[in-house]
Chains A and B, each alone.
Chain A
């Protein structure tokens, strides 16, 4: 898919949570986020993180120098999840620590 678009002269970048698959198919540019499937842009209601991931990907459109570029975003799933839980608690969507562990 990504190759077909790039071949038409349109620069492309993808967000991947599956580094091994991306390394096999070698798309032109990709950003790896070490997140759970279904969470390519982070966790619910964490707007800053969702935005940061998009911007990191768009940055590769100009920063990538070679095709097959794979940039790992320096973040962990645990950190994203902790931040998401704190945001939900502040929004009143979540209770205290016991529920947060669920």
Chain B
């Protein structure tokens, strides 16, 4: 099997400059890092949450605004005991053909439920979290949506978080 590249070379050199020239500030670069938090218990005792930018949301909840020129900075709570048929996708920025056949390719709720049932993880938070990506104001996202979701993750008693930037 072919091994993936381990080089640190940019796959698309110049992309950042190009996009930032057209949409100033839309592509962020971070040099500072956040110190790692430690997992305080074994995985089998840890309550996991899942945060996704795939626009997956419970049927009947307010659809994400997928055509707003600056973006939608709201989020939805997805009950972690949901079945895929309880959920729908509101996002245009990635191919959803396969997600509509098997939601687990982008929002693996059934696999997470199985890992919890088997005791591989201690459990899931009552809700998982969902928003849409391709928001054009990353500072606003950092200052509002990111903080709101982080607070909600804490409030649900998460011990660890799996994130999926779609």
A, B co-complexed: yes
CB contacts (< 8 Å) of A57 on chain B: these are 162
Please name all residues of chain A whose beta carbon is closer than 8 Å to the beta carbon of B149 when the two chains form the complex: 1, 4-5
Assess the B105–A51 pair: CB atoms within 8 A: no
Interface residues of A in 19-48 (CB under 8 A from B): 19-21, 23-29, 32, 34, 36-45, 47
With a cutoff of 8 Å between Cβ atoms, the chain A residues found around residue B36 in the complex are 6, 11, 28-29, 64, 66-67
Contact partner of B165 among A5, A10, A14, A44, CB < 8 A? A14
A11/B160 in contact, CB under 8 A:
yes
A33 to chain B, nearest CB (A): 9
Write out the residue numbers on chain A whose beta carbons fall within 8 Å of the beta carbon of B95.
Answer: 36-39
Q: Does B74 contact A (CB under 8 A)?
A: no
Give the contacts of B3-61 with A (CB-CB under 8 A).
3-6, 8, 10-12, 15-16, 27-31, 33-39, 43, 48, 51, 53-54
Number of B residues with CB within 8 Å of any CB on chain A:
65
B112 in contact with A54 (CB, 8 Å): yes
Q: How many residues of A contact B (CB 8 A)?
A: 59
Beta-carbon contact of B162 and A1 below 8 Å: no
Q: Does B136 contact A (CB under 8 A)?
A: no
Q: Which 10 A-B pairs have the closest CB atoms?
A: A44-B102, A4-B150, A38-B94, A14-B163, A4-B146, A37-B94, A67-B33, A1-B146, A38-B95, A12-B161
A-B contact pairs, 21 of them (CB 8 A): A4-B142, A5-B150, A10-B159, A10-B160, A15-B162, A26-B30, A28-B36, A32-B4, A38-B54, A38-B105, A38-B166, A39-B98, A39-B106, A41-B111, A43-B98, A44-B102, A50-B104, A54-B111, A62-B39, A66-B36, A76-B2
Which B residues form the contact surface with A (CB < 8 A)?
1-6, 8, 10-12, 15-16, 27-31, 33-39, 43, 48, 51, 53-54, 94-96, 98-99, 101-102, 104-106, 108, 111-112, 114-115, 120-121, 141-142, 145-147, 149-151, 153-154, 158-166
